[in-house]
Structures are given as structure tokens and as C-alpha cells.
Amino acid sequence: MIYPAKYNGINFSYDFTRKSNRLNFDLQRQKNILPNQDLVYLFFLADFNISNILTVHDLTLNQTYNEAPAIVTPIGSQYLVIYMIHAAHLNANSDIYFSVSSTDDDGVVNTIYSELYTIRSTDYLDENSIHKITAYNNDNRHGYLTNQAFGFFKIDGYWTDIFINNKVEYAYSYGRKMILSSENQILKRLTFLDLTMYNQNLLKWLCNCENLFIDGVQYNLISDFTELEKDDNNEICSLRADFVEVNQSFFAQPSMQVPTDVFHSQFFMPNGAPFVPYVSLLNNVSMSIDDNLELIYTTPDNYNGLQANSTDGNLTITAPNGYEGMNINIEGGNLIAMI
């Protein structure tokens, strides 16, 4: 028989087959994403070292590809088998699954299977904030994680920096304080979105290794994980935690885009400030048609004093604070705003 590691970046465990009294689903709950690049490493423990083969099953192209083990290490009477899946066998936009087969001394073939995955290009991963996490331990005393294990996760907040400070102060009388030591750092508060149970466990495993990297940059996990948007069976859940870079730097990732116009979040501005474009208006209101085919315009509570009526297909909005006589007309399918 052959057994998958619990920290493999690809789920070979039995949980996606719903062999559980708590989960009553017949189909895989969520299809995860892998990149069209080399995947390293996948770990298995085999009872026998005969014909251990990993197969990539491409359902979209109706093709299969075989991968031989990259490393085989005896572990007592068993064998640690490590695979590396090459990018040539991972075609973008294909739906694939993986199988690993091992043959025993009697010629019996045992095969295990993975979940279904979709392969995406690196551009797709960048556009959808899907990041690679790799981790490993310094030696094998705490599990066979001396080679980098990996996972791909959709992350919210990766490009948002938060300032934190850790300092030691000496307190004098009358509230006076002297700073004895002070360390400044930029924190990343990351939310890992819509994780299956397997990926929840994988993420926690990777983040609690001795060496943790997100997109190749080394981080330390400095908080516990907070569960967000958790479903009834804990099968799909988002996790949030705080991270800081291991190597501090005063320099950061630069912006590669030209700045554009920035508008205040309030609809009406105090002290004669410019008026926010009507796009903001339309994003915060609802419209309906009454029995007389007149347009009824409803605004949120924070737009106190805003009034609207419809006459002959024209929408007239009267606003407080001197913004009188603003008209929005719908003519020929085009929206025209006038102040």
C-alpha cells in the first residue's frame, strides 16, 4: 500500500470522498487551482519499492502522463517516495487529477487518487491573488519536511501593509516614560479565502513550520488563525492571521502604475468641495417603477435631505446644502448628469 503525506499540496486523503458521519456530500465540494509550473514536492510512504508511479490524468485533453519518483529513501521496512511534477504535464485551463500506484511483492497494484484540480496560468494566479506558500523544517525530527512542501491559496490583503511596533519602556513617576528598545515592522494581515478542510489543515501545517515563505519571501506567523465565514460542517472556511517578514527592510515593493483621480467617499462634500460623480450615486441607491410608470428613487439613510421625482422620463434630484437643481436624464440609453 502507499500513503500520502498530510501536508501534500495536492489532496490524496479520503476526506474528499465524504467517508464521514458528519459530511453527507456525494461530490467534491470545491475545485482548487494549481499553476502550470513545476510542483515540488509530493511525499508518500510506500510499503514496497516496486513500480511506484505518479500519473497525471488530463480530463480536458484526454491524456495521461507518468512521473517517476524523484527521491526514494528507506524508512525502516518502508520507503519514503518523493515526486516532482513537471510543468510539461500541467496544461493551462485543463481539469486534472492525480493517481499514485505501488506494486507489492505479489504483483498486486494498489492505487490512490487525488481531488480534481484546474490548472491556471501564472497570469491568472496574479490577477486573482492566488499565492504560493512553501515551508519546511530544518531537520526530520518533527516530520519529513526537510524538503519544501507547498500550497496555493487565494489571499486577500497581501498588498496591504499595516504598521506595528514592539517596544520596551521604562516608567518614571508622573507618567513619564523612556523607550529602552523599539522595533518597527510592517505587518500583513492575510485572509485565506474559501478553504476546504484539507486546505485549512495544510495552511496551518505550513505556517507553523520552522521556515515559511509566501511567494518566495520568508515570514513569521505572529498570531493565531481566526475563522471567518465558516459553514455548518466546517468544510468551507476562510482563515485570517498576521505575518511579518523575517528580514526587516526599509524598502518595499514599488507601484508600477500611474495614479488616477481620487474622490472622497461622501456623496456631498462640505465647504464647497467638488461633487462626487454620479457613478457613486448609482452604487448606493435603488430604483423602482410604480403603478403610474413613474420612477421611485430610494436613497440610504446617510443621504438625508436628498429628494427625487420623475417627470416625462426625466429624473430630477434636489439635494441639500446648496446643490439645487441637479438633473439626471436618460436619453437614448445614455445617462446624462447635470449640476
Residue 187, domain member (yes or no): yes
The C-alpha atoms of residue 316 and residue 265 are separated, in whole angstroms, by: 23
Length of the chain counted residue by residue: 339
Residue 234, domain member (yes or no): yes
Mean pLDDT for back-to-back runs of 10 residues, the chain (339 residues)? 90 78 64 90 86 92 92 88 92 94 83 93 93 88 72 92 91 93 91 92 92 94 90 82 90 83 61 48 54 55 50 54 51 50
Query: Is there a single domain that holds both residue 12 and residue 117?
Result: yes
Query: Is there a single domain that holds both residue 176 and residue 215?
Result: yes
Instruction: Count other C-beta atoms under 10 Å from residue 260's C-beta.
Output: 5
Residue 136, domain member (yes or no): no
Query: Is there a single domain that holds both residue 48 and residue 96?
Result: yes
- What's the Cα-to-Cα distance from 29 to each of 68, 150, 262, 314, rounded to whole Å? 30, 21, 40, 48
Query: Is there a single domain that holds both residue 241 and residue 279?
Result: no
* pLDDT at residue 90, as a whole number: 94
Residue 117, domain member (yes or no): yes
For the chain, what is the domain count?
A: 3
* pLDDT at residue 299, as a whole number: 53
Query: Is there a single domain that holds both residue 298 and residue 190?
Result: no
Give the DSSP letter of residue 105.
T
Query: Is there a single domain that holds both residue 274 and residue 237?
Result: no
Provide the Cα torsion 315, 320, 324, 328; round to 10°.
-20
Domain holding 62, by residue range, is 2-121
Query: Is there a single domain that holds both residue 287 and residue 233?
Result: no
Query: Is there a single domain that holds both residue 232 and residue 160?
Result: yes
Query: Is there a single domain that holds both residue 167 and residue 110?
Result: no
Residue 79, domain member (yes or no): yes
Report phi then psi at 16, rounded to 5: -75, -10
The C-alpha atoms of residue 221 and residue 242 are separated, in whole angstroms, by: 6
Query: Is there a single domain that holds both residue 236 and residue 278?
Result: no
The C-alpha atoms of residue 117 and residue 10 are separated, in whole angstroms, by: 9
Query: Is there a single domain that holds both residue 180 and residue 228?
Result: yes
291: which residues sit within 8 A by CB, 6+ positions away?
Answer: none
Residue 254, domain member (yes or no): no
pTM assigned to the model = 0.71
Q: CATH number for the domain including 34? A: 2.60.40
